[in-house]
């Protein structure tokens, strides 16, 4: 059973702080990693993807991948109240069906004004 684990939260940070969201996965064959943001009552939207070890930056967002330790993280710098949402980690493996993603249950983030 491929598993993706996230702390459910809620995680609260003050406006302007760095929010750190973590995700671990069980399948060492995993190759592609994604972070989705989901506002309450809305569908998930893709915000970051990462495929190789190290950091990938996009604006205020940085995704970090460590395949040896089987974790992926998302850092949000200068957090804004509009970042308040649930963040879903998703992993794609190349064993079994390579066509689907496995999602974590999400971390709820609240940015306090």
* Site for other proteins, rule CB under 8 A: 8, 32, 34, 36, 42-46, 49, 88, 90, 97, 99-101, 103-106
Q: For residues 1 and 55, what is the distance between their CA atoms, to the nearest angstrom?
A: 28
Closest CB to other proteins among residues 28, 42: 42
Phi-psi group of 105: left, alpha or beta (phi > 0 → left; psi -120 to 50 → alpha; rest → beta) = alpha
What span, in angstroms and rounded, lies between the C-alpha atoms of 20 and 35?
12
Tell me the closest approach of the beta carbon of residue 61 to other proteins, in angstroms: 14
CB of 77 to other proteins, least distance (A): 22
């Amino acid at each position: 059973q491929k598993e993706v684990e996230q702390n459910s939260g809620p995680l609260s940070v003050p406006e302007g702080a760095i929010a750190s969201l973590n995700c671990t996965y069980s399948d060492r064959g995993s190759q592609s990693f994604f972070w989705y943001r989901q506002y309450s009552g809305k569908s998930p939207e893709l915000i970051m993807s990462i495929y190789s070890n190290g950091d990938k930056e996009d604006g205020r967002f940085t995704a970090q991948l460590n395949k040896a330790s089987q974790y992926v993280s998302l850092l949000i710098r200068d957090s804004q109240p509009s970042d308040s949402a649930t963040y879903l980690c998703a992993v794609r493996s190349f064993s079994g069906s390579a066509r689907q993603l496995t999602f974590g249950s999400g971390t709820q983030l609240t940015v306090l004004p």
